[in-house]
Amino acid sequence: MGRWKPDARGRLEQAAMELYNDKGFDATTVAEIAARAEVTERTFYRHFADKREVLFQPNALADVLAHATATAAGPLAPLEVIAHALTEAAPVFEERAELVRQRQAVIAANPELQERELAKLASLASTLADALRERGLEATTATLAAEIGIAAFKVAFERWTDGPGRHTLARQIRETMDDATTHLTAPAGDGPRPPSGPAS
């Protein structure tokens, strides 16, 4: 029925994601993943060190971010370099949108996996900061720009996974980075909440 038949690795990822969502990450075994993917356990271990690595694969993302940051034509504002790099990285997620959404649901359901995910995002921030310094940016500015970039990416990513099909991830990233430079510094119609009055 599907338009494409994934290879063993792809089938293992798909099977793992389905089981993690159905049974929970902790309750799923490698034997079950292999069985659903119709491969042997040995094949699983040829592709992944353990069941957690299916969720946290070393992927192309860090390389794409570093390369896009290094090669963006300058001079650019630091946040513009970051917006460019994140936008360039968007296809890494868009190409496998369904798997990415399933992965997010698995991680959202497990505090331990959430901590691992935060650590991975922190490591991406370091990669971005290093690449900005290589361009000649001062260290603190580079670090701050990279941290803001990852923060904006998290927001854009949530907007994208929450409203599938509405906008591309690349567009969500652009809009979120624009927010960061406009809405955030303009006075808002906000204020302290008035103290609660007597019940009406």
In the complex, the residues that contact a copy of itself under the rule CB under 8 A are 70-81, 111, 114-116, 118-119, 122, 132, 134-137, 140-141, 143-145, 147-148, 150-152, 154-155, 159, 176, 179-181, 183-193
Quote the least distance from Cβ 73 to a copy of itself, whole Å: 7
Choose between 59 and 141: whose C-beta lies nearer to a copy of itself.
141
Q: Decide: 54 and 121 in contact? Cβ < 8 Å.
A: no
Task: Tell me the C-alpha distance between 160 and 93, whole Å.
Answer: 10
Quote the least distance from Cβ 61 to a copy of itself, whole Å: 18
Quote the least distance from Cβ 88 to a copy of itself, whole Å: 13
Q: What is the 3-state secondary structure (H, E, C) of 160-181?
A: HHHCCCCCCHHHHHHHHHHHHH
Choose between 140 and 200: whose C-beta lies nearer to a copy of itself.
140
Task: Tell me the C-alpha distance between 195 and 148, whole Å.
Answer: 34
Measured in whole angstroms, how far is the alpha carbon of residue 90 from the centre of its chain?
9
| Residue closest to 121 by CA, chosen among 48, 61, 79 | 61
Quote the least distance from Cβ 44 to a copy of itself, whole Å: 26
Helices (H), the chain: 8-23, 30-37, 41-47, 61-71, 78-94, 97-108, 111-134, 139-162, 169-181
Choose between 87 and 143: whose C-beta lies nearer to a copy of itself.
143
| Dihedrals phi, psi of 113, to nearest 5 degrees | -65, -35
Quote the least distance from Cβ 193 to a copy of itself, whole Å: 6
Task: Tell me the C-alpha distance between 53 and 13, whole Å.
Answer: 10
Quote the least distance from Cβ 15 to a copy of itself, whole Å: 27
Choose between 31 and 122: whose C-beta lies nearer to a copy of itself.
122
Choose between 62 and 79: whose C-beta lies nearer to a copy of itself.
79
